Amino acid sequence: MIKPHGSETLNPLYVADDAKRAQLENEAKDLPSVVVCSAAAANAVMLAGGYFNPLKGYMNLKDSLSVAEHMKTTDGLFWPVPVVNVLQDVSAIKDAKRIALRDPNVEGNPVLAIQDVEAIEEISDDQMKLMTEKIYRTTDMEHPGVKAFNSVGRFLVSGPIQVLNFSYFATDFPDTFRTAVQIREEMQKLGWEKVVAFQTRNPMHRAHEELCRMAKEAVNADGILIHMLLGKLKKGDIPADVRDACIRKMVEVYFPPNTVLVTGYGFDMLYAGPREAVLHAVFRQNCGCTHLIVGRDHAGVGSYYGAFDAQTIFKDEVPEGALKIKIFEADHTAYSKKLGKVIMMRDAPDHTKEDWVFLSGTKVREMLSRGENLPPEFSRPEVAAILMKHYQAQASK
């Protein structure tokens, strides 16, 4: 395993000591409090789990602008996306030096973390536009990430945090949610040194499955970390519990024992394409992985990014040595009728369109909603059955 980003050891911000945590929970009752947005709550969970190592809390305006524009904080730490707590209204915490952050995603809005307030700054229209353009490469409010980023407020509350729980992720996904600390521990128990990570917000079809195998073989890895996003997605994306069931079934049936770890992390999808791919690399390094698979339109949405922009950013914009993790560049992967197996399309220049099995997301949804089986070249039958049940339930609503 490789060292974490920016420090020798991982420094998660979850307060693991029971007595200390109880003391802070008691203190929180008397502190000014505010319900944060879902993105800020997810940032707290990622800080708690060590994924955002070596950050100590939420960034101030100078650091946020520097990260957006130059991919580094004002003190020189390489970082691809601002990690912020942005609010619509700060009247309840004005002049407070220490505040309780309440969870927007759990009933009753329990306290998620305690923050020391270093500054409360208002973001100007120009500053918001600059950050949006740099992070998302567009200011189009039809882009789900742009809309989310620009809809949560303009007051930026910065300062270190102490996190008291992992929101709904630990309770809703007890078998899947893991911190970076826990993933390192599990890989250590398995004796894995070289590990390839696969990021997903979707169920895994045959192409994804084979891509993991190809990458493992190509880098001679000891194992594969399948790491799924468990947080908020855009409308129409597959719910996390359905994805989880699909991926677990695929691994159970089609991979040898102890070669794959199926895990998840508590973060809301940004759909930021290249910048989010770099963020994915940071927190996979913090998990201890040596390689990250970056494929076609990684972390993208619609047609906002070029097919391989998420690969070129690592060559063109990430300074050499900024990250220890290596990128496994994957081409579009599909089933070749000619060869009778899933391959990367770049490895078959003699193929025509008719030689491949392609299904669009829309086509897949339509077929499953009608109860039609997907071609076995596209999806494992066990996975398709789980998806069919989900889509038919949705269609009947």
Average pLDDT for the chain: 93
CA angle 9, 272, 55 (to 5 degrees): 25
Asked if residue 275 has pLDDT above 70, the reply is: yes
Asked if residue 360 has pLDDT above 70, the reply is: no
List CB contacts of 274: < 8 A, sequence separation 6 or more.
137, 298, 299, 305, 309, 310, 312, 313, 317
pLDDT band per the 50, 70, 90 thresholds, residue 374: confident
Question: What percent of the chain shows pLDDT beyond 70?
Answer: 99
- The pLDDT of residue 362 is 66
Structural tokens at position 58: 């939420």
Asked if residue 120 has pLDDT above 70, the reply is: yes
| 8 Å CB contact between 247 and 228 | yes
Active site residue 53: no
- The pLDDT of residue 47 is 98
Asked if residue 396 has pLDDT above 80, the reply is: no
Asked if residue 232 has pLDDT above 90, the reply is: no
Catalytic choice (98, 202, 248, 296) = 202
Predicted structure pTM score: 0.94
Tokens 């024992």, residue located: 257
Nearest to 264 by CA among 45, 27, 89, 97: 45
Tokens 């600390």, residue located: 181
Residues 42-85 have pLDDT tens digits of: 999 999 999 999 999 999 999 999 999 999 999 999 999 999 99
Active site residue 105: no
Domains of the chain: 18-170 (3.10.400.10), 175-395 (3.40.50.620)
pLDDT band per the 50, 70, 90 thresholds, residue 132: very high
| Inter-CA distances, 291 with 316, 323, 352, 385, Å | 19, 11, 31, 31
**Parallel/antiparallel/unpaired status of strands 291-294 and 326-329:** parallel
Q: Tell me how far apart the alpha carbons of residues 60 and 57 are, in angstroms, rounded to a whole number.
A: 10
Asked if residue 7 has pLDDT above 90, the reply is: yes
Residues 84-116 have pLDDT tens digits of: 999 999 999 999 999 999 999 999 999 999 999
| Inter-CA distances, 101 with 21, 25, 90, 165, 224, Å | 15, 11, 12, 11, 35
Tokens 């949006």, residue located: 132
Higher-pLDDT residue of 378 and 289 is 289
Span 210-234, mean pLDDT? 93
| Inter-CA distances, 2 with 172, 314, 334, Å | 30, 18, 32
**DSSP code for 120:** E
Catalytic choice (137, 201, 243, 275) = 201
Tokens 């049936």, residue located: 253
250, amino acid identity = M
Structural tokens at position 140: 């189009």
pLDDT band per the 50, 70, 90 thresholds, residue 3: very high
Say if residue 4 is preceded by a cis peptide, omega within 30 of 0. no
Residues 135-185 have pLDDT tens digits of: 999 999 999 999 999 999 999 999 999 999 999 999 999 999 999 999 999
pLDDT band per the 50, 70, 90 thresholds, residue 372: confident
